[in-house]
Amino acid sequence: AQSVTQPDIHITVSEGASLELRCNYSYGATPYLFWYVQSPGQGLQLLLKYFSGDTLVQGIKGFEAEFKRSQSSFNLRKPSVHWSDAAEYFCAVVYPNAGGTSYGKLTFGQGTILTVHP
Amino acid sequence: DTEVTQTPKHLVMGMTNKKSLKCEQHMGHRAMYWYKQKAKKPPELMFVYSYEKLSINESVPSRFSPECPNSSLLNLHLHALQPEDSALYLCASSQEGYPVVSDTQYFGPGTRLTVL
């Protein structure tokens, strides 16, 4: 079954430290990949997306993500975290070869909660 | 501009009440979505409208009734809800008609629903 895995439920970093959030997808064909961020009680904001081309993708708020086909991964990175980055981060995918009603459906990982210490 | 608006921001209702959630987008997007999100969980798809027609119903109970009066507006009518229906309800929209695998969904801020 198509799925997406975020191995880390909760990550804590100090302000100014670098950050990497992991995301792995399960399907053979390259999916369309997204990272969203959700502040408490808020909606989801799109950080970046990857469809094709350059495997290093730049997003908003200083985030970037790298697509690695060999590792089925799309990890999110930020070189220096700010306290305002504390939120929940969701990796999401659309599998191009999914069948039936799964075609075109956005599949979310379970999310990673980021805590930032001053 | 990729703004999706939702009203109300918060809603408290009893199990016998009838209420509606509203979602609007003025980006000319052709697909609109309702998601339900419980605490500490990812969003779960409920309904998809494409070109104002219902494309997907993810086996949602009939106490939730979606409506798409026009291409910019999406409603979710609520009736006889249960306390376990308390959640954040998110609306999203995307440019193309559903399904288009390369399309991007843009989310609204959500309505926090509490059922007493």
Q: Provide mean pLDDT across the span A13-31.
A: 91
Number of other residues whose CB lies within 10 A of the CB of residue B111 = 22
What percent of chain B has a predicted confidence (pLDDT) above 90? Answer: 88
pLDDT in tens, B22-49: 999 999 999 999 999 999 999 999 999 9
Residue with tokens 């926090």: B112
Q: Provide mean pLDDT across the span B77-88.
A: 96
Residue with tokens 């997406």: A4
Q: How confident is the model at residue A3 (pLDDT cuts 50, 70, 90)?
A: confident
pLDDT in tens, A36-53: 999 988 899 999 999 999
Contact A46, A57 (CB under 8 A): no
Determine the Cα–Cα distance for residues A33 and A21; give it in Å rounded to an integer.
14
- With contacts defined as CB-CB under 8 Å, which chain B residues touch A42? 109-110
- With contacts defined as CB-CB under 8 Å, which chain A residues touch B4? 43
Closest residue in A to B98 (Cα) is A104
DSSP code, position A17: S
Q: How confident is the model at residue A104 (pLDDT cuts 50, 70, 90)?
A: confident
Q: Provide mean pLDDT across the span A47-72.
A: 95
Q: Which of helix, strand or coil describes residue B68? A: strand
Strands A24-25 and A4-5: antiparallel
**What token pair was written down for A115?**
């805590």
